[in-house]
Structure 1
């Protein structure tokens, strides 16, 4: 049954006051039948009363009012000034700044009071309210009322010393939990205060992770310059202290340091109780460490997966080299650099970055080998070894080799984080990143080499220059569908046969890659040999068809347009055109009359025939016509007309309109502007090769 209980007491600015306040709250809650609120109420009372003792240094008034729904506790001090309500999460190692954060986290409601003589903070805890949230965001299960919590026997004292209810523990960070356990230990054994120190073996040494009271501890300045109370002048030198080790597994170590007031002594069994509390703290520290390790492991796995994905997307060597340091800094160190081995086996700086851009020039000088020979020697050692090499100051860090497919590409160097050395896990991740980066760099190099070979092969399949002659101009444009390792199947050629006679040829071999390129070379060479042998165009097509059929590859064929061009005595060009499965070229005429007149629509000329390489017999029909001065003959491949924007093709009609606007223009202008119009038809890259070949009969100069 719940009864209304009210207590009010005044406490001095003494290290014993928080314990007295807790005892009063415990008594009120037990008397009112609300022991289920005991843990949260004691925790918040401790925070507020300790803050009052440490930061105010005045007497404290503690008002406790329990009713049928809950309890309200108010702690008032008599130091003037505003209350700073900063609810930002403090640093895990901070020794202050948790009071109002905990109040806000656990209390049903809370607030402040002000009067001319002082200020206070109150909190209220209610039964049956909305469930509190754990620090992981999950609601806690309500605890049943526990009358046994009020028991004061030895067994109950031991339980209370080490047992923190699960729902409360889940809402506390490790420093908060250790502070609560330390406070309980101090109350049970009569210590004035204490601290918990842990060395995580991370190069930072022992750090204080929890403290209670001020006796025996250095005076610490709180926010806004509020010093610790002068009423407690004890220092680490004057106050008696006892130390109990924490039984932490290697490589961790730690201790509990307990302090007593000069006029007090610890209980007889204090050492056994302290050891019991130390074991409980060790469990909490180890559990927290394992959780952190698990979170870190998942985080590193995600990091490595994302890094691999980014590296795999780049097939550009320079981009890959620049990307690696950006992936490392600042996650694994303050700076990162990549050195690559040149053809002489010497290391050269390829890429670097620094968390502080202002320090990047100095870093580059150090790592370039001009200012520090020791760093250069260490990098060389890393490149010719298979392990981790430590780098000396002022570029302190580690260097690991970049090894891919059994070969050494260079080194990856990472500077130490600003506040610590690299941990073993950091070095493991750096080595893993180095392996992935080396493989990405090697893949990018292989791709670049293959692209160079393909582009050289592509250039070999096209004429390096077109013939020039008075009154006749040739022009061509070629846009491959791929600038990578594939070789396109489109080709063109212009061959000078004799004085005032030429062979024009354009074609499209089915497919891409090495096989298509090989077939393109065969077609081009066979045509050159046969036409120089004086064979007519029809016979050339027949022999070429037989040659391709002899290749025994039924999936490879070629469309072809050939024209023999000869200059006539009257200045016209006589054309013999033969089409073998290829699009008809456009004949583009300028406007008529001395003033130009209306430009006629370009017309397609020629007779369609059978593509070569498909059937045993081919049928082609050579066609003869003349090109008057100013006329142009425009050949193209299907990459022009089949250029697609969504569901719309560039098509023959759009091509006709473009050529009509280019009537009378020079051959190079026609080829260039037509290609630009086709490419700008859509923002998508070409899906097929685009080839344009133009012949123009230049009019005589006026």
Structure 2
């Protein structure tokens, strides 16, 4: 085996020809066969460069009298033209499109296309036994090209056999592509449906050669494995339906539709996604499918694809053909229905039906997983709304700003929390806390702390008394809690404005005050975590926030944000950023600190991030 990487530019075809000629010469391949292989490689590499626009990998193998060649690019989504030799595509497609594959169909014994997540591979096989004439020699030379004087070597003669013997879309049954010896309608169309996965079906010539079943099975298994990977990562059921349609069209069908239903929620069957090879025909197809939803009842075997009536007057979205429907069943529950249709067939080949059934099981599981994720995310959002204060507060003489960012997508609001509410006698209470751990266990402590704080404040307890009582309650939950808890008492404008602030800092990053000159100082003394010892008396400190001065409270998601071995608050990093917030209001200060924290580390934050900014406004 030899392999060569090729650039995705105009030099690739010539480099490929030189590489192949050298390898075939070393293997002693007859000149005629070598010419065929060189031509095919040149055409396929050219196609890859022109249509995919990526680097190309060329691989050649000499396997006991057979030459196997693979040309791979990194563009997995571009469909490969698999029409018959000499056929022009319908409508506005250029008649020369797919020229390389028509050559492969004419010259190769076996060929196919394998799609993977990161690219696709076109492969073919040719006999290479010494002394065996090449395909072009057996047919009088000319590689099936038109031999009329002066003709351009741009196409194949109409008599060239094709490795994809599917009928054109408007062929009638009994024409090109009618049932072969087996008498099974549509069998010869299998190549057009599975050509993107494995070797094609029979060749319509004497001495028909059937493809190696191992290669077919490998292609099918590769498709199903890649489909499982793609579907498993989806968290929205409609996206699962959309991806399912796009995976099946045009590989196996001209159109596909997915209906979804949720028996647990009592949601009736609804048409989620429709996909057609020709986008302009999708609206009419969707209309027909909406009027005639699938009638697959409970007597239909679960997971079995059954014939399905071609929907309505199909002329608007393609000629009549064959269709099958398969219930999406997982755990004994029907979560939807998948239907595919192929124009010009009397029935869908059995091999394709089997693939669709396997594929439908994967789609059903992906739909169920997406629903579970959605429900879990909904529960998280509901709990978060219950654990966080609702609405903004307006403290007289004080401007407030809050940043709250739970770590992880769809995470529980169970780590950091904050609250701001009005107490008694014109006093305002605020809290910024961090429960050790996360998830629902942490959410339980959060759900306990907020109502206890509010209840005790309304009963008139002082800041230290509230912390003493909360400490005893938290101790019963086997979870520690760090928190800054404070009270604001606005100072009358006649006395200069601002606000008196009484604080308790229990095992939490110290709150900081920035004065109007830019100096930053700690506003409280460190004390023990809540829940560690029951018999603890907490003390408070009071500071006066003069107009223009700012109080900053943060959780350890800010101070312990990491960059390598360094933390954000090493060498008073937080104080340095805070000191540089001169002239900024509360919201601007909060945003500046937030951006500094995010830019300090690489990647997503590993911990919740919360910060609270209070800024005393000038009097008047």
Range into which the TM-score falls when normalised by the shorter chain: 0.5 to 0.7
Q: Is the partner of 2:296 in helix, strand or coil?
A: helix
Contact 1:506-1:636 within 8 A present in 2 as well: yes
Point out the more displaced range, 608-617 or 384-393: 384-393
Match of 1:676 in 2: 595
- Show the counterpart of 1:350: 272
Cα contact 1:566–1:574 (8 A) shared by 2: yes
Displacement of 1:472 after TM fit? 2.0
Task: Report if aligned partners of 2:412, 2:443 keep a CA contact under 8 Å in 1.
Answer: no
**Is the CA contact 1:633–1:694 (under 8 Å) kept in the aligned structure 2?**
yes
Aligned to 1:334: 254
Give the RMSD, CA atoms, in angstroms: 4.0
Match of 2:8 in 1: none
The one-character-per-residue Cα deviations of 1:158-195 (angstroms, maximum 9, x if unpaired) are: xxxxxxxxxxxxx99499999x9xxxxxxxxxxxxxxx
Q: Which residue of 2 aligns with 1:364?
A: 286
1:478-493 equivalent positions in 2, closer than 5 A: 478-493=404-419
Q: Report the Cα distance in structure 2 between the residues aligned to 1:134 and 1:550, rounded to whole angstroms.
A: 78
- Partner of 1:460 in structure 2? 386
Question: 2:266 and 2:284 mapped to 1: Cα distance?
Answer: 26
For these two proteins, the number of residue pairs brought into alignment is: 445
2:407–2:607 Cα contact (<8 Å) kept? yes
Instruction: List runs of 5+ in structure 2 lacking aligned partners.
Output: 1-16, 18-28, 37-61, 70-106, 112-124, 130-134, 150-156, 159-179, 186-206, 315-319
Q: Which residue of 2 aligns with 1:41?
A: none
Give the SS at the match of 2:543. strand
Alignment of 1:181-192 (within 5 A): none
Residue 403 of structure 1: SS of its match in structure 2? strand
Who wins on radius of gyration, i.e. which is larger? 1
Cα separation, partners in 2 of 1:177 and 1:589, compared to 1, 3 Å: closer
Q: How does 1:146-157 map to 2 (within 5 A)?
A: none
- The structure showing larger relative contact order (alpha-carbon pairs under 8 Å, at least 6 residues apart) is 2
TM-score, with structure 2 as normaliser: 0.64
- Structure 1 partner of 2:32: 104
Q: Give 1:132 deviation, angstroms.
A: 9.8
- Map Cα deviations across residues 345-402 of structure 1 (whole Å, 9 max, x no partner): 5443222222233433333333232xxxxxx15x233688444232316364212112
Match of 1:323 in 2: 243
Deviation string 1:50-90 (CA, Å, 9 cap, x unpaired) is: xxxxxxxxxxxxxxxxxxxxxxxxxxxxxxxxxxxxxx9xx
Structure-2 residue corresponding to 1:659: 578
- Provide closer, same or farther for how the CA distance between residues 516 and 249 of structure 1 changes in structure 2, counting only shifts above 3 A: same
Residue 506 of structure 1 contacts residue 562 of structure 1 at CA under 8 Å; is this kept in 2?
yes
Q: Deviations over 1:69-126 (max 9, x none)?
A: xxxxxxxxxxxxxxxxxxx9xxxxxxxxxxxx98612899xxxxxxxxxxxxxxxxxx
2:296 to 364, 378, 381: 381
Offset, 1:508: 0.1
Matches within 5 A, 1:376-455: 376-377=292-293, 379-381=294-296, 385-386=300-301, 387=304, 388-392=306-310, 394=314, 396=321, 397-416=323-342, 421-455=347-381
CA contact (8 A) 1:609 1:618 kept: no
| 1:77-96 matched pairs, under 5 angstroms | none
- Identify the residue that residue 226 of structure 2 maps to in structure 1: 306
Deviations 1:258-288 (A, max 9, x none): xxxxxxxxxxxxxxxxxxxxxxxxxx86xx5
* Structure 2 CA distance for partners of 1:224 and 1:356, relative to 1, 3 Å: farther
Contact 1:383/1:411, CA 8 A, preserved across alignment: no
Distance 2:33 2:346 in 1: 32
Structure 1 residues 672 and 172, CA, compared in 2 at 3 Å: closer, same or farther?
closer
Partner of 2:508: 582
1:601 maps to 2:519: yes
- Deviation of the 1:251 alpha carbon: 6.9
Task: Measure how far apart 1:687 and its partner are.
Answer: 1.2
Write the deviation string for residues 468-508 of structure 1: whole angstroms up to 9, x where unpaired.
13312222111110231533310011121124311111100
Contact 1:581 1:611 survives alignment (8 Å): yes
Distance 1:483 1:106 in 2: 56
Query: More displaced, 653-662 or 456-465?
Result: 653-662
The aligned counterpart of 1:541 is 467
| Aligned-pair CA distance for 1:213 | 11
Check 1:493–1:213 CA distance in 2 against 1; reply closer, same or farther (3 A cut): closer
SS at match of 1:380: coil
Contact 2:396 2:490 in 1 (8 A): no
Confirm or deny: 8 A CA contact 1:560 1:582 kept in the other structure.
yes
Equivalent position of 1:688 in the other structure: 607
The separation in 2 between residues aligned to 1:546 and 1:380, in whole angstroms, is 62
Alpha-carbon distance in structure 1 between the residues aligned to 2:546 and 2:595: 27
Q: For residues 684 and 533 of structure 1, do their structure 2 counterparts lie closer, same or farther at Cα, with a shift above 3 Å needed?
A: same
Q: Please list every run of 5 or more consecutive structure 1 residues that lacks an aligned counterpart in the other structure.
A: 1-87, 89-100, 109-130, 139-170, 181-208, 215-220, 229-247, 254-283, 370-375, 591-598
- 1:567 is matched with 490
Return closer, same or farther for 1:603/1:532 CA change in 2, 3 Å cut-off: same
Q: Please, which of 51, 66, 71 is the counterpart of residue 135 of structure 1? A: 66
Q: For residues 137 and 434 of structure 1, do their structure 2 counterparts lie closer, same or farther at Cα, with a shift above 3 Å needed? A: closer
Deviation, 1:669, is 2.5
